Amino acid sequence: MTQFFQVHPDNPQLRLIKQAAQIIHGGGIVALPTDSSYALVCHLDDKAAVEKLRRIRGIDEKHHLTLLCRDLSEIGVYARVDNKQFRLLKATTPGPYTFILEATRCVPRRLSHPSRKTIGLRVPQNPITEMLMAELGQPLLGTTLILPGDDQPLTDPDIVLERLCKQVDLVIDGGACSLEPTTVVDLTGAEPELVRTGRGDPAAIGL
């Protein structure tokens, strides 16, 4: 049975955040608001949960999943970041951007791109997501909540519950989100490459 928590978007209730963290620790899939659209998240180290998340989204291992990190220093644990890349990250995080970077050995091999050894990372600016990551003490593994056959992400928590009832363990109602997903930028080449235009302004990174 899918649980449904109504969480204050600016002052999240610690009791509910703790319960959400327990669900994630137990292998659960959670739909939650971010600073772009809603996302599906799970525990970084739970193989079964990651596979379930991919099934719900209808994506294979070649589709980048994203590590939602607490800050820039945490990104540095999971990705190799040079000085040029760091300056771009610092200028745009936290915010609605996802960056593709070379994964470090701290990233389980099954999570990085099978041929490129890359991973998507971001620092979301949303009190609910931030508080949940702080409670967990580590990043969340996530993906934009776009269901198979849909062109746009889900943004209304009631519709999320209706569409994903019994498929996810928890839907966090933090109010409606943006229709736009994150802007995705590949930083693994000589110059930044715009992969997807979303809520984040590409001009902020010179694109």
Query: Percent of the chain at pLDDT above 90?
Result: 76
User: Which distant-in-sequence residues (6+ apart) come within 8 Å of 29 by Cβ?
Assistant: 40, 41, 42, 49, 52, 53, 56, 167, 168, 169, 170
Please give the pLDDT value at position 113. 67
**pLDDT tens digit sequence for 100-126:** 999 998 887 767 666 678 999 999 999
Q: Which two tokens stand for residue 28?
A: 């659960």
Q: In 147-202, which ranges are E strands?
A: 170-173, 183-186, 193-196
Could you give the count of Cα atoms lying within 13 Å of 176 in the half-sphere of its Cβ?
5
Q: How many residues does the chain have?
A: 207
Say if residues 182 and 98 touch (Cβ distance below 8 Å).
yes
**Nearest residue to 157 via CA among 143, 170, 176:** 176
Is residue 176 classed as helix, strand or coil in its secondary structure?
coil
Three-class secondary structure of residue 31 per DSSP: strand
Q: How far apart are CA 20 and CA 154, in angstroms?
A: 20
Lowest mean pLDDT among 24-33, 57-66, 88-97, 188-197: 57-66
pLDDT above 70: percentage of residues in the chain: 98
* pLDDT, position 204: 85
Residue 194: the pLDDT is 95
Task: Round the average pLDDT of the chain to a whole number and report it.
Answer: 92
pLDDT band at 169 (very low <50, low <70, confident <90, very high): very high
pLDDT digits (tens, 9 = 90+) for 125-145: 999 999 999 999 999 999 999
* pLDDT, mean of residues 142-152: 92
How would residue 180 be classed by pLDDT, with cut points 50, 70 and 90? confident
Task: Provide the pLDDT for residue 1.
Answer: 84
Alpha-carbon distance values, 31 to 35, 38, 53, 91, 174 (Å):
13, 7, 10, 28, 10
Give the span between the Cα atoms of 154 and 162, in whole angstroms: 11
Task: Kindly report the backbone phi and psi dihedral angles of residue 172, in degrees, each rounded to the nearest multiple of 5, phi listed first.
Answer: -95, 115
What mean pLDDT comes out for the span 73-83? Answer: 93
Contact present, 97 and 122 (Cβ < 8 Å): yes
Confidence label for 187 from pLDDT (cuts 50, 70 and 90)? very high
Q: Catalogue all structural domains in the chain, each as residue range(s) with its CATH number.
A: 3-201 (3.90.870.10)
pLDDT band of residue 66 (cuts 50, 70, 90) is very high
pLDDT the model gives residue 177: 86
Mean pLDDT of 69-98: 93
